[in-house]
Amino acid sequence: MTSANVVKVTERDGALLIEMDNPPVNALGIALRRGLMAAFERLARESALKGAVLTGTGRFFSAGADISEFGKTRENPLLPELIAFLEDLGKPVVAAINGQALGGGLELALGCHYRIAAPAARMGLPEVKLGLLPGAGGTQRLPRLIGVERALAMIVTGEPIDAAEAKTLGLVDDVAEGDLIGAAFRLLEGAVARGVRPPRTRDREEKLAAARADSGLIDRIAEPLLKRQRGLPAPRACVEAVRAAVTLPFEEGLKREVELFAQLVNSPESKAQRHIFFAEREAAKLPDMPADVRPREVNKAVVIGAGTMGGGIAMSFANFGIPVWIIDQDHESLDRGLARIRENYQITVSRGSLAADEMEKRLARIHGTTDWSVLAEGDVVIEAVFEELDLKQRIFRMIDEKARPGALLATNTSTLDVNKIAAATSRPEDVLGMHFFSPANVMRLLEIVRASKTSFDAIATAIAIGRRIGKVPAVVGVCDGFVGNRMLHRRTAQAERLLLEGALPQDVDQAVVAFGFPMGPFAMGDLAGLDVGWRIRKARGTKAPISDALCEAGRFGQKTGAGYYRYEKGSRTPIPDPEVERIIIETSKRLGITRRPISAEEITERMIYPMINEGARILEERIAMRASDIDVIWVYGYGWPVWRGGPMYYADQVGLGQIEARLKHYAETLNDETLRPAALLSRLAAEGKGFSSLPVQPIAI
Ligand code: CAA
């Protein structure tokens, strides 16, 4: 791509219109930076030109630096130089912010002398989400425009603001209803007519005064913001950079920002977060999908089953403006389900995260019924009933009878064979799994399960629906537990074994939390309820001795005030319980296991490495297309710390040789065949390669 292709420059009444045209998001890669520099240089050179309007084509002003260039040698001009040149031009440049202005895109706008936004524009500095900070002057210029308090909030959380708020804060001079470019040229004309030197953001000091007068202010504002960011380096560096804006002259502040950026861009955390950024976008791309496949149109959804899962799925549709019917077989379950939905919304309203009228709008999109004829209304039908194959097959026969031709038919099963469910219909090409994660209205992962006869356009439709309702879709193949739960199962088995061998629930949970998960497996078990797994085990004739013993003692987790921990009334804080210790020790004894002290290191390895091993088997069997898809599933569905990049990425950082050696060691010392390294893991380890070296593969069908 040449710079002439990505920057369009036209002359209008003695001024330039400079349009960034680098689809899909106007990322500021080298071609765009060169093109902009050439346009700014022309503006400086040609005395007849009085100024310029800078805008973007499409939905974006610019989504910022080209993330794929990070970590490589970047070519000049770099963005900070480009912005410095622009700011010092001596002729006015108006940023006409037509859509999203993010990261370096917003920093470019901050270097302009005036800013005017379309009503739908959004502005933000999301670098922190990639483990970075705004490295093109954003930490120095934004506080000068909107004050330290709001700038810190935007930079440390990475959350964007809309045009109306940007106007209130002084980030933009105006919001243009209607013709943005026309309004931007009028603003430019006014500035030229006034004949003043174009104002530079760097010179504006007045909004820094409060923080300069009160040396504790920054830390007081930063403290609650940092608390939510779990000690990661980027948010802390963001605060330091803003502090530099307050305490140092502009040029020195810029230098400090560059130094901090350089540290972050090479940090393992940021590399992992950038890996996840691209992995998330890859996870829904099928190497064998023909390029001309288009998703079907979806305007209405039907969810079958008003339980916790069905309710959460219905809320996900309603939250994004899609009307949804919930069918349940009896009025009582339906009413209970609808009441729970209302309660859930009400909790969000009472926390201040949702306006009451918005709640009513969302509720108005959810309709409950016991009448199966509404199946004919759905462009997508999602079944979310009990995990029983017979029951699901019966329901799919009914769906087949009543759903309209071309409707997407999805099951939310987490364990059953989607092929067998699809076989109950006369249209298996329309059937797939849409596996949501609890709570379905909150968790972002959506495993889309491709069965052997699922058509490409059905998959494309499920992906499009997932994106529309704010989920992160990852396409996987059929097997027990699919990708996420199949790997989780390995961790659960080791967690239970560790208890039998000598650890206590709090030891295991602490190790997992120290690794970076929000919660350990036992606290998680108590939250989800231990009785569910117990019932499944009883039906399948399998055992988990400690969990079974707890359930037999009526300890089902938080809902009964006791599980692996005890809970005070009304509290969700797990408290270690001597009674649990007694049950565990007694169970070990009964099974003839001699307990031993177990190190935190062993616990961590046994919580993580067996999952990686299962991930390798999943890749061998072509249940997943890429190692990075597995990373996405763990980050978005199970709280894997994003700054560790997902299990397969993490494995590559540790080194597959090391992981193989530890798995072999545990397989032998614990006499546990499930821990034998997978053939793929051993092969890659022998070749000195990582999972990232594997090519993308189609899912086995
Ligand atoms: N650099 C490189 N590629 C980018 C990109 C960026 N900044 N932003 C998006 N893309 C790519 C995506 O990888 C995707 O590529 P494929 O189609 O090949 O998968 C394509 O653009 C479209 O992106 P999305 O699928 O994400 O489209 P969307 O409409 O759902 O979301 C978005 C658009 C909100 C901009 C989202 O892509 C996003 O959040 N991008 C990152 C924004 C960001 O973090 N900017 C800061 C960059 S760092 C920086 O600017 C540092 C600095 O200070 C100099």
10 exposed, middle or buried (CB, 10 Å; 0-12, 13-18, 19+)?
exposed
d(CA 607, CA 522): 12
CA of 68 to the centre of ligand 1 (A): 10
Pocket lining: 64 vs ligand 1, CB cutoff 6 Å: yes
Query: How many CA atoms lie less than 13 Å away from 405 in the CB half-sphere?
Result: 0
Q: Kindly state the tokens that stand for 383.
A: 């079944």
Cβ density class 448-457: b for 16+ within 10 Å, e for less: bbbbebbbbb
For the CA of 278, the nearest atom of ligand 1 = 13
Would you state the pLDDT for residue 228?
80
Tokens representing 417 are 């064979």
Predicted confidence at residue 394, as pLDDT, reads 97
Phi and psi based region of residue 406 (left: phi greater than 0; alpha: psi -120 to 50; beta: remaining): left
pLDDT of residue 71: 78
Ligand 1: residue whose CA is nearest its atom 46: 103
Q: How far apart are CA 660 and CA 688, in angstroms?
A: 12
CA of 25 to the centre of ligand 1 (A): 7
> Does 230 contact ligand 1 (Cβ within 6 A)?
no
pLDDT at 1 (0 to 100): 64
- Which of 22, 25, 78 for mutating ligand 1's site (highest number of atoms within 8 Å of CB)? 25
Please report the domains of the chain, with CATH numbers, ordered by start residue: 3-265 (3.90.226.10), 301-482 (3.40.50.720), 503-590 (1.10.1040.50), 600-693 (1.10.1040.50)
State if residue 127 touches ligand 1 by the CB under 6 angstroms criterion.
yes
Distance CA 360, CA 367 (A): 13
> CA-CA distances (angstroms) from residue 452 to 394, 413, 486, 497, 700?
20, 16, 19, 36, 8
CA of 483 to the centre of ligand 1 (A): 26
pTM: 0.93
Calculate the alpha carbon distances from 667 to 141, 609, 664, 677 in Å: 57, 11, 5, 8
Is any atom of ligand 1 closer than 6 Å to the C-beta of 66? Answer: yes
Q: What is the DSSP letter of 28?
A: B
* 165 burial type by CB count under 10 A (0-12 exposed, 13-18 middle, 19+ buried): middle
Q: Which atom of ligand 1 is nearest to the CA of 59?
A: 29
Beta bridge partners, 333, equal: none
Can you tell me which residue has the tokens 């546990």?
672
Bridge partners of 445, per DSSP, are 472
User: Ligand 1 centroid to 697 CA: how many Å?
Assistant: 25
Q: How does DSSP classify residue 262?
A: H
- The candidate with the shortest Cα–Cα distance to 571, out of 521, 525, 526, 518, is 526
3-state helix, strand, coil in the chain (%, to 5): 55, 10, 35
Q: Cβ(285) to ligand 1 under 6 A?
A: no
Query: Strand order of the sheet with strand 301-304?
Result: 366-369, 324-327, 301-304, 380-383, 408-411, 431-436, 445-450, 472-477
**pLDDT value at position 619?**
98
Which are the contacts of 646, defined by CB distance < 8 A and separation ≥ 6?
A: 272, 275, 276, 279, 628, 630, 631, 632, 633, 634, 635, 640
Is the CB–ligand 1 distance for residue 130 below 6 Å? Answer: yes
Distance CA 423, CA 66 (A): 46
The Cα 243–Cα 256 span in angstroms is 10
Q: Is 328 in the pocket of ligand 1 (CB under 6 A)?
A: no
Question: What is the reported pLDDT for 230?
Answer: 75
Phi, psi torsion values for 271, nearest 5 degrees: -60, -40
Mutate to test the pocket of ligand 1, among 67, 154, 260 (most ligand atoms within 8 A of CB): 67
341 and 314 Cβ atoms separated by less than 8 Å: yes
Q: Report how far ligand 1's centroid is from the alpha carbon of 63 (Å).
A: 6
Give the DSSP H/E element, type plus range, for residue 400. Answer: helix 389-402
Taking the chain (701 residues) in runs of 10, the rounded mean pLDDT of each run is 85 97 96 97 97 96 94 89 97 98 98 98 97 97 97 97 98 97 97 94 96 95 89 93 98 98 95 96 96 97 95 97 96 96 95 94 97 96 93 97 97 94 98 94 96 98 98 96 95 96 98 96 93 86 94 94 95 95 96 97 98 98 98 96 97 98 97 96 98 97 89
11-13-16 Cα angle (round to 5): 35
Query: Who contacts 679 (Cβ-Cβ below 8 Å, separation ≥6)?
Result: 620
What is the C-alpha end-to-end distance of the chain, expressed in Å? 38
Residue position matching structure tokens 């009448």:
371
| pLDDT in the model for residue 647 | 98
Active site residues: 107, 127
Q: Cα(367)–Cα(384) distance, rounded to whole angstroms?
A: 16
Q: 305 in ligand 1 pocket by Cβ < 6 Å? A: no
Rounded distance, CA 574 to CA 564, Å?
8
Write the CB contacts of 365 (distance below 8 Å, at least 6 apart in sequence): 317, 318, 321, 322, 323, 324
